[in-house]
């Protein structure tokens, strides 16, 4: 008898037939940076192939991503001006609000990031704590909640299908859900950054979105990678408050967390393949060390295998093209 065993199933044709993990363009969400201060697309040096877009270029970008089958677009805004409370974040003529209005009716699922870091002059994700508050508590949690709710409502009014709060403020999902419902936007979904770790992989994003903190860091409100015991509590609280879907961010170094969350909850899970992960692939590819497209595809397959229902990735268009 032949010694061949599992190898029989790796022949071309059979290999594809027995696969249990699939990936399609509709599983992918493409981040898009919209910049109110520019008139033409501007390349992002730390993220090869990515660019900031002016508002009037967003409809064509959404149309192009729709044509290749991408499932959703996640908008991030760079405002015309910044201040201590991020007042441009929920302005009716804000950059995200105008981008959504410019896109108008579309089959694409339009998602928006709900945070303050791109809009505040200090670069933190909420309203700063008073001077007499403990120094470690950089952001005032309770003052931040109504700001996040107001931003989410303004995005919904401009046409967002899904709002994605990323500030990691306690109670943010509940505040946003109540705000949306009271404003008549009950159909708008919440994709919560429920499990967002303090990470070194966010550097290129902060360059792209001009959202780096001007002092300190975000470890006081983002999760500690060495404290996995907090994961279940964060997830449970967000679901109880009304989250429809959850994000685990970053993804590559946290596939164990993706698997843990996906196996314990009954809501869809998004893995966020973040900017630093994207930049590493392109840096290696530029040296000729790896094939960027093959590495990107293998990366998102790993996230799907871990249990992610959808993947937010800057590789979205490249992967869609590779999948045909």
What are the tens digits of pLDDT across the range 20-64? 788 999 999 999 999 999 999 999 999 999 999 999 999 999 999
State yes or no: is 249 an active-site residue.
yes
pTM of structure? 0.92
- What confidence category does residue 86 fall into, taking pLDDT thresholds of 50, 70 and 90? confident
Q: What is the pLDDT of residue 306?
A: 97
Contact by Cβ (8 Å): 66, 128: no
Element (H or E) spanning 113, and its range? strand 109-114
Q: What is the pLDDT of residue 73?
A: 98
Contact by Cβ (8 Å): 79, 85: no
Q: What is the pLDDT of residue 120?
A: 87
State yes or no: is 82 an active-site residue.
no
Quote the CA–CA distance of 248 and 134 in Å, as a whole number: 29
Domain contains 252: no
Q: What is the pLDDT of residue 269?
A: 97
Average of per-residue pLDDT across 139-156: 93
Average of per-residue pLDDT across 211-235: 74
Contact by Cβ (8 Å): 245, 270: yes
Q: What is the pLDDT of residue 134?
A: 46
**How many distinct structural domains can be found in the chain?**
1
Contacts of 7 (CB under 8 A, 6+ apart): none
Domain contains 201: yes
Domain contains 164: yes
Q: What is the CA radius of gyration of the chain?
A: 20
Q: What is the pLDDT of residue 12?
A: 84
Domain contains 273: no
Average pLDDT over the chain, rounded to whole? 90
Using DSSP, state whether 7 is helix, strand or coil: helix
Which of 126, 95, 91, 124 is closest to 112 using CA atoms?
Answer: 95
Domain contains 50: yes
Question: Which CATH number is 131's domain given?
Answer: 3.20.20.70
Q: What is the pLDDT of residue 75?
A: 98
- Given a cut of 60, is residue 216 above it in pLDDT? no
Per-residue pLDDT of 111-132, as tens digits, reads 999 998 889 887 777 778 776 5
Task: Check residue 120 and report its DSSP letter.
Answer: B
Q: What is the pLDDT of residue 222?
A: 73
Kind of pairing between the strands at 28-35 and 189-196: unpaired
Q: What is the pLDDT of residue 240?
A: 97
Domain contains 163: yes
Residue-wise DSSP of 210-263: T---SSS-STTTSBPTT-GGGHHHHHHHHHHHT-SEEEEES-GGGHHHHHHHHH
Per-residue pLDDT of 255-312, as tens digits, reads 999 999 999 999 999 999 999 999 999 999 999 999 999 999 999 999 999 999 999 9
Domain contains 276: no
- Given a cut of 60, is residue 93 above it in pLDDT? yes
Q: Which of 249, 282, 304, 315 is catalytic?
A: 249
Element (H or E) spanning 111, and its range? strand 109-114
Q: Which of 52, 82, 147, 196 is catalytic?
A: 196
Lowest mean pLDDT among 168-177, 190-199, 223-232, 235-244: 223-232
Q: What is the pLDDT of residue 20?
A: 76
Contact by Cβ (8 Å): 119, 82: yes
Domain span at residue 140 reads 22-246
Domain contains 73: yes
Beta-carbon-side half-sphere exposure of residue 4 (alpha carbons within 13 Å): 6
């Amino acid at each position: 008898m032949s010694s061949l065993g599992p190898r029989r199933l790796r022949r071309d044709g059979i290999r594809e037939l027995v696969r249990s993990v699939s990936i399609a363009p509709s599983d992918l969400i493409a981040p898009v940076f919209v910049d109110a201060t520019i008139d033409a697309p501007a390349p992002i040096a730390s993220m090869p192939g990515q660019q900031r877009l002016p508002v009037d270029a967003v409809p064509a970008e959404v149309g192009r991503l729709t044509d290749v089958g991408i499932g959703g677009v996640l908008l991030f805004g760079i405002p015309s001006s910044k201040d201590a409370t991020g007042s441009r974040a929920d302005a009716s003529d804000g950059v995200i609000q105008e981008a959504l209005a410019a896109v108008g009716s579309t089959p694409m699922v339009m998602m928006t990031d709900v945070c303050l870091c791109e809009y505040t002059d200090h670069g933190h994700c909420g309203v700063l704590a008073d001077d007499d508050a403990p120094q470690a508590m950089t952001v005032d949690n309770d003052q931040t909640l109504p700001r996040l709710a107001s931003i989410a409502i303004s995005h919904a009014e401009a046409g967002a299908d899904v709002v994605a709060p990323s500030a990691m403020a306690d109670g943010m999902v509940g505040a946003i859900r109540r705000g949306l419902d009271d404003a008549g936007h009950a159909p708008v979904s919440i994709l919560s950054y429920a499990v967002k770790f303090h990470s070194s992989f966010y550097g290129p994003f902060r360059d792209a979105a001009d959202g780096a903190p001007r002092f300190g860091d975000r470890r006081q409100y983002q999760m500690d990678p060495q404290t996995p015991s907090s994961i279940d509590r964060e997830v449970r609280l967000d679901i109880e408050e009304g989250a429809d879907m959850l994000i685990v961010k970053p993804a590559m170094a946290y596939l164990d967390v993706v698997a843990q969350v996906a196996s314990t909850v009954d809501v869809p899970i998004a893995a966020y393949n973040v900017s630093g992960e994207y930049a590493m692939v392109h840096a290696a590819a530029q040296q000729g060390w790896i094939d960027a497209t093959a590495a990107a595809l293998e990366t998102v397959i790993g996230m799907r295998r871990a249990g992610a229902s959808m993947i937010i990735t800057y590789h979205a268009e490249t992967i869609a093209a590779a999948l045909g």
